[in-house]
Copies of this chain bind each other. A is one copy, B any other.
Amino acid sequence: MATEQIPTEAGAGVDRKTALSSSLRHRILTMQIAPGSVLDEIALSEEFGLSRPPVREAMRQLAGEGFIELEANRPARVTSMSYQSLRDFFLVAPLIYAATTRLAAETATKADIAGLREIQASFRQSVEGDDIDGRVFYNDQFHLRIGEVANNPYLLPSLRRLLIDHARIGKIFYRPANAQMQDNLEEACRQHDDIIDAIAHHDADRAEALVRAHLDLSRKNMAMYAAPEGMQVAIGV
């Protein structure tokens, strides 16, 4: 267990607790830690040079965000996934994604657009390179940022929860399997660009349509067994 790889994406050298949280989020999103796995408090405290209480605090927080599940007198486990999860996901995702994207299109500033383009640049780089975890991570960051631009505290919790499993579903299904999937990936990348454009032009209708198509692409990319049509949403603010 000398593998001391600490991928603290934010590079928080001093704040080890933040590093712990970020690292765990990243590992869970990229399935370095599989759904259902147990998390050992002592191992984590040693890895990050902390004692157990702050580790436990971080656990509670991650549990609140939906990354892990806690049970009394039992070890923490990474939130599990099932076929039911997939069904639930594709039922709700269009609803939430469409709503956040619409709101983002209405309120985005130039700084917001710049931030989105920056993330998208990293995503495109991951797509062109062979960085699977990067794709998963920056796709997550992209949609999360849209949610932050939308800036509605009631919508964000569900978006965050969706994004966790969006990343994990992606990690499962977006393997470099065949040429068709590579095409789809590049299509997804173009859709990101188009979504940014629509948001930049405050075109909520187009942004919503694009994000729906974006989700449909994900859905079609995997076996159809778990994919209902999803809720339709028409927003008239």
Interface residues of A (CB under 8 A from B): 15, 53, 56-58, 60-61, 63-66, 72, 85, 88-89, 91-93, 95-96, 99, 103, 152-158, 160-162, 165, 228-229, 231-237
Contact = CB atoms under 8 A, between A and B. Distances in A.
A214 to B, nearest CB: 17
Nearest to A236: B232
A95 B92 contact: no
Contacts of A229: 236-237
23 contacts: A15-B72, A53-B56, A56-B57, A57-B60, A60-B61, A60-B64, A61-B64, A64-B64, A85-B153, A88-B154, A91-B152, A92-B155, A93-B154, A95-B95, A153-B161, A154-B158, A154-B161, A154-B162, A231-B236, A231-B237, A233-B233, A233-B234, A234-B234
| Copies of this chain held together in the complex | 2
B152 A161 contact: no
A87 to B, nearest CB: 9
Contact of A153 (B88, B96, B99): B88
Contacts of A160: 157
Contacts of A58: 60
Contacts of A152: 88, 91-92
B158 A155 contact: yes
B232 A157 contact: no
Contacts of A236: 229, 231-232
A5 B219 CA distance: 52
A162 to B, nearest CB: 5
B99 A95 contact: yes
